[in-house]
Structure 1
Amino acid sequence: MKPQFHLPLITYPSASSLSVVQNAVDLARHQKADLTASVLQIKTPLVGQSSPWVDDVERLSSQAKRFSRDSGVALSEAVCDYANKADIRAVIQTFEASEPLIPDTLVEISRAYDLSIVEASETMMPLLENLLFESGRPLVLFPANHVCSRIDTVAIAWDGSAPLSTALTGARLFLESASKIILISITNEAPMNEKARDRYANVLRNSGLDVEVVVARANGEEVAVAIQSAARALHADLLVAGAYGHSKMRELVLGGVTRSLLADLEMPVLVAH
């Protein structure tokens, strides 16, 4: 069964970057996956609400729609160009939606695919949170201006939690093809369940994988920073982590470590909730 990756792209108020398009194509190539890009163009921009003192709302709306349309064309062309050069199958879906409905539309689309690929930027953060908590699928997040490489070593931010178990299920494709797995625990967090960690390490070893267990100290750093520092020092290409948070009246509230991780991403991370 060939993996099916999803690339949600936005076109307003800022367009998704070409960097995330390149990373998505490279990731699909390395994992022998197909890629579907969903390009969401705005139907009804909220220019009137953001600029109530401007009389010419119709003109601003027209400009916003034109920017969205032009951005969509440029992103679609980039997907086709990169995919052709990488020799992967890429499909482009173009949709129109009113600005407030774009996150819900992309969440619904994302549920059909194995994972979604998103750039962890300020522009994408509201959409990222919706996808993370409502799509039921894992996300692979890339820092801005990151260049995707083959994923040979996978680090796991081990805490024994249910969200991590969900992330590990979504990361199975990457674990199976990895040359090495590293379980990283941070010692100054809550008491560590070493038996559960070692049990999982043995399960991976019994599956034929090379597994290393690493215990690291935060040394005054935020936990998210310490985990990424340890993973990068061990030359990991991907970090797998569980995401914490809850939804109340459709307002997403992230756990502290999760928010810190998303806000200061230094390497590709697969997260799920």
Structure 2
Amino acid sequence: MSIKRILCPLYGSASDAASLTMGLSLAKRFHAQADILFVRPNPTDALPYLGEGISGPVVEDIIETARKAADSAEDQCRKEAEEAARAAGVEITDEVRADAATARMRIKSGRAVDVIAGESRLADLVIVADAGARDQASGPNALETCMLAEGRPVLLAPQQAPADVGASVVIGWDESGEAANAITAAMPFLVSAEKVTIVCVDEDGVSDAPGARALQEYLALHTVTAEIHLVPEDNRNTGEVLLAEATNLQGDLLVMGGYSHSRLRELVLGGVTRHIRSHATIPVLMAH
């Protein structure tokens, strides 16, 4: 798999800088298109929640205020995208070029999560900025929908996103289909990484890891040399262990499966994906 289109949704918020930095950097690295997307919310979407008895002038004021807010956010996104592209040395153009790094800026209207999900279907990678830096109603739903409903790999960009990603890659391996899909999606990073480490976490402590050795052999077929690192859980959340090990190994990209359990179970009992989303300080590539 190659990476040729990278979807970078913008929201007119502080987290946009991370999306732009990451998306444009990866576009240059893979000679890809950074597809920068801003979704204008429909002002009338809020009206059904206002209840009955609201006067016409009040409704019009609400719609006008929402329209002005959308105009302001759109202008901000355009300006930031142009500045970031100029700084990265990437041309913003609608022309399709398979052998050069480019960016395009698009504006669409609708419910953000639905539009982003639809646009993700023809993207090789979707960048979602740090959920803590953005409206919880938009970020988490976009990540979940792109990954779970549309089956697209997602790159979670932390608030302080590095310009370069993938020199030292850490793989969280639990032999699940989700983790295998994440590895397939991450292969363009893995084949060019200087260091790749397979991390296996076990609640009872790991003494043997045939599954990790099988992955090691598989990666070798793709010319990727990987080390195996076995780690006990020690009554910690697996996500906590993975992040700690990624830090210890000086990793700059964590690759893992997302939502191996249902979202309801993650919500009620806590889960690896939820912990990673809330605490990651390095980019995380996830797939379902």
Q: TM-score, normalised by structure 2?
A: 0.82
1:118 to 110, 125, 128: 128
What's the CA shift string for 1:233-261, capped at 9, x where partnerless?
Answer: 101110011012577xxxx5464222222
Contact 1:30–1:150 under 8 Å retained in 2: no
TM superposition shift of 1:18: 2.3
TM superposition shift of 1:118: 0.7
Aligned AA (2:9): P
1:85 to 81, 84, 87: 87
Q: Which runs of 5+ in 2 are unaligned?
A: 91-101
Tell me what 1:67 maps to: 69
In 2 relative to 1, CA 221–196 (structure 1 residues): closer, same or farther, beyond 3 Å? closer
Tell me what 1:10 maps to: 11
What is the total number of aligned residue pairs between the two structures? 264
Tell me what 2:278 maps to: 263
Is 1:30 the counterpart of 2:29 in the alignment? yes
Q: For residue 20 of structure 2, give the secondary structure of its aligned residue in structure 1.
A: helix
Distance 2:44 2:279 in 1: 29
TM superposition shift of 1:222: 1.5
Q: For residue 177 of structure 1, give the secondary structure of its aligned residue in structure 2.
A: coil
Is 1:197 the counterpart of 2:212 in the alignment? yes
RMSD across aligned positions (CA)? 2.5
Tell me what 1:228 maps to: 243
In 2 relative to 1, CA 236–173 (structure 1 residues): closer, same or farther, beyond 3 Å? same
TM superposition shift of 1:51: 4.8
Aligned AA (1:222): N
Between 44-53 and 171-180, the greater mean CA deviation after superposition: 44-53
Aligned AA (2:47): G
2:60 to 58, 71, 86: 58
Q: Percent identity?
A: 23
TM superposition shift of 1:190: 9.6
TM superposition shift of 1:69: 1.9
Tell me what 1:106 maps to: 116
Aligned AA (1:86): A
In 2 relative to 1, CA 49–16 (structure 1 residues): closer, same or farther, beyond 3 Å? farther
Tell me what 2:97 maps to: none
In 2 relative to 1, CA 103–192 (structure 1 residues): closer, same or farther, beyond 3 Å? farther
Q: For residue 220 of structure 1, give the secondary structure of its aligned residue in structure 2.
A: coil
Contact 1:245–1:253 under 8 Å retained in 2: no
What's the CA shift string for 1:143-189, capped at 9, x where partnerless?
Answer: 22333324211110010001111111111111111111100011217
Aligned AA (1:40): V
Tell me what 2:193 maps to: 178
Tell me what 1:138 maps to: 153
TM superposition shift of 1:201: 0.3
Distance 1:253 1:148 in 2: 35
Tell me what 2:99 maps to: none
**1:144-183 equivalent positions in 2, closer than 5 A:** 144-183=159-198
TM superposition shift of 1:15: 7.1
Distance 1:132 1:2 in 2: 16
Q: Which runs of 5+ in 1 are unaligned?
A: none
Distance 1:104 1:189 in 2: 42
Is 1:44 the counterpart of 2:54 in the alignment? no
Aligned AA (1:59): D
